[in-house]
């Protein structure tokens, strides 16, 4: 069966289909090509994602770790499809990103989503550092925030929706356990729409680290930085945004001045689910103690903590997690549409 995907090659040979006729600010990477022939060592871009990028339409990148490691099958598949549907219903094209058989894929079809969901934790959790190994070994990889940002940037997707990003772990000043999500935000020009930082982390230190990395941090319709399961972490943000259009203008300015860094737009969990916040926080405290007693560290820490918190809360944390991801997808799609419209406008300013 002929592969109809579109590819991105990191090399000097370019497809004759360059996008010079398009506004280059709207276009995907000039390396994006439409040959559909080779499979290995290339980024495969789904046809609908390719065409949206070509015409400067709104695209929203989505990670795949939430599918493989975030929840059990079939709930993970149902949630993935529902999130993609929300993005579509609000005018954008969803591009779930994963590595399948060693090939980075930008945009998955239903069959690929189901395959990923059924494999679950048998899929390698893939951050930036893991990308070469997963590709070289022809493995399947579920992309974390850092890897998803990397691939999204390669094809020119400026907006990425996730649940919550990683950060500085509690006692990080001793363990140096700091998520690569933070350094990726410092060097990759993608706007991440999330419910802030997971509350299992040290949020003040995470925000300090983001400042060091030069990352713009904003909050949506609030002055308080959200803490994933709760609406506020007690930390103030330097930038408040009250509409998708304001978010789009901020992202557009970042891209136009070519800072090279990304930005974090934090969206509070919906109020009806935030009511469980304090209950969930007490479960987190207990789970953190158990993780310490069992010496669970590194990239195993977050999956352990989230799973244990879900057990302790009788599923309330998972329900809240799903709700906030869907809410982020809704707002992220609105932002992506506003950004695409802004970048197509001949009247927009240089900055």
Residues tagged active-site: 63, 198
CA distance 103 to 157: 18
Torsion of CA 317, 307, 322, 265, to 10 degrees: 90
Count of beta carbons in the 10 Å neighbourhood of residue 311: 13
Instruction: Give the CA distances from residue 181 to residues 125, 126, 198, in Å, rounded to whole numbers and listed in that order.
Output: 13, 12, 12
3-state secondary structure 230-277: ECCCCCECCEEECCHHHHHHHHHHHHHCCCCCCEEEECCCCHHHHCCH
Decide: 158 and 248 in contact? Cβ < 8 Å: no
The number of angstroms, rounded, from the C-alpha of 340 to the middle of its chain's C-alpha atoms is 18
Tokens of 271: 């109020």
CA distance 230 to 344: 37
CA distance 237 to 18: 41
The number of angstroms, rounded, from the C-alpha of 236 to the middle of its chain's C-alpha atoms is 23
Whether residue 74 is preceded by a cis peptide bond, meaning omega within 30 degrees of 0, is: yes
Q: What is the DSSP letter of 123?
A: S
């Amino acid at each position: 069966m002929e592969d109809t995907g579109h590819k991105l090659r990191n090399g000097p040979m370019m497809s004759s289909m360059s996008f010079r006729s398009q506004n280059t600010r709207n276009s995907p990477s000039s390396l994006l090509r439409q040959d559909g022939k080779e499979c290995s060592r290339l980024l495969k871009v789904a046809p609908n994602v390719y065409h949206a990028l070509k015409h400067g339409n709104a695209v929203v990148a989505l990670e795949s770790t939430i599918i493989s490691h975030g929840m059990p099958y079939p709930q993970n598949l149902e949630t993935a499809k529902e999130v993609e549907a929300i993005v579509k219903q609000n005018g954008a094209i969803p591009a779930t990103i994963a590595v399948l058989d060693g090939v980075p894929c930008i945009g998955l079809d239903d069959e690929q989503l189901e395959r990923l969901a059924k494999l679950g934790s048998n899929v390698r959790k893939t951050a930036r550092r893991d990308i070469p190994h997963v590709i070289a070994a022809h493995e399947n990889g579920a992309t974390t925030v850092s890897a998803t940002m990397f691939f999204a940037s390669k094809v020119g997707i400026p907006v990425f929706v996730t649940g919550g990003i990683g950060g500085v772990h509690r006692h990080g000043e001793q363990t140096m356990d700091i998520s690569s999500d933070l350094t990726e935000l410092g060097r990759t020009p993608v706007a991440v729409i999330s419910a802030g930082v997971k509350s299992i982390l040290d949020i003040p230190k995470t925000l300090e680290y983001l400042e060091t990395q030069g990352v713009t941090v904003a909050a949506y319709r609030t002055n308080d930085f959200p803490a994933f399961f709760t609406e506020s972490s007690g930390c103030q943000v330097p930038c408040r945004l009250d509409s998708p259009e304001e978010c789009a203008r901020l992202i557009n300015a970042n891209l136009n001045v070519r800072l090279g860094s990304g930005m974090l737009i934090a969206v509070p969990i919906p109020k009806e689910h935030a009511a469980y916040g304090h209950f969930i926080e007490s479960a987190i405290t207990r789970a953190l103690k158990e993780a310490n007693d069992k010496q669970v560290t590194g990239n195993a820490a977050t999956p352990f903590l989230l799973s244990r918190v879900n057990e302790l809360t009788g599923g309330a944390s998972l329900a809240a997690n799903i709700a906030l991801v869907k809410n982020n997808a809704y707002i992220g799609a609105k932002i992506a549409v506003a950004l695409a419209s802004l970048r197509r406008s001949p009247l927009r300013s240089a900055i």
